[in-house]
Amino acid sequence: MRNASFFDSARGRMRAGVAELDQKWGWYFALGGLLIVLGAIASTLAVATTLLSVITLGSILVVAGAALIVHSFLTGKWSGFLLSLAAGALTIGAGITFISYPVSGAVGLTLMVGALLVASGIFRASASVVMQFPNWGWSLLSGLVSLFLGSMLLRGWQTAGLYFLGFYIGIDLIMHGISWIMLSLKIHSLAGEYDISESDRRAA
């Protein structure tokens, strides 16, 4: 009896949670659709998106650098004063450089991403072959794909730097949009399985 009571209580809480989420499943679906549209626009206008993202990053760096400088003065004479002041000045300098030369900033970021992909790809591929843990073949494949993509970026960095970041941001937005849509449909499907009525949704 106690077990039956426990499972009934757990099912009731689960049903109430699904009913509460199902109230907003349409909003989740709409959010996913909006993200997909924005991602498609960002991917189509990859160059403009890349330049805008670099300028935005530069602006964030300027604000962060200014905050570091202010913080270093507010904390008084402490051992890390000069280090914090120098870090703030360098951060502002990097931000101003990104804002003034967005193309060069995009190329630099693309080179950095390419180098990271190559390094992580080599590490994952090597580690999977040496350790041979369960399903290590998938890790090996993932490492090889990262190595291939990183090599492609490094080989064509002069042109890839103009569109890579924008294209990546667009694809990322599209994937997030798809995940939100799938989540909303799953919530609505669960609501049907639990026979949740309109009154249950309003009560939640």
Residues 6+ apart with CB under 8 A from 73: 85
Most confident of 70-74, 92-96, 128-132: 92-96
Helices of type H across 46-156: 46-74, 81-100, 102-131, 136-155
Tell me how far apart the alpha carbons of residues 172 and 190 are, in angstroms, rounded to a whole number: 27
- Mean of pLDDT over the chain: 81
DSSP label at residue 194: T
Higher pLDDT, 33 or 149: 33
Out of 67-71, 125-129, 136-140, least confident range: 136-140
What stretch of H or E contains 12?
helix 2-22
Return the closest-CA partner of residue 52 out of 108, 105, 111.
Answer: 105
Return the closest-CA partner of residue 164 out of 95, 109, 116.
Answer: 109
What stretch of H or E contains 5?
helix 2-22
Please compute the mean of the pLDDT values over residues 147-160 and round it to a whole number.
83
Residues 6+ apart with CB under 8 A from 84: 68, 69, 71, 72, 75
Q: What percent of the chain has pLDDT over 70?
A: 79
Question: What are the tens digits of pLDDT across the range 81-116?
Answer: 778 888 889 999 999 999 999 988 888 888 888 898
Q: Is the pLDDT of residue 65 over 90?
A: yes
DSSP structure string for 27-44? HHHHHHHHHHHHHHHHHH
Return the closest-CA partner of residue 105 out of 170, 150, 60, 172.
Answer: 60
Please compute the mean of the pLDDT values over residues 51-74 and round it to a whole number.
90
Question: What are the tens digits of pLDDT across the range 11-31?
Answer: 556 666 666 666 777 888 999
What pLDDT does residue 109 have?
86
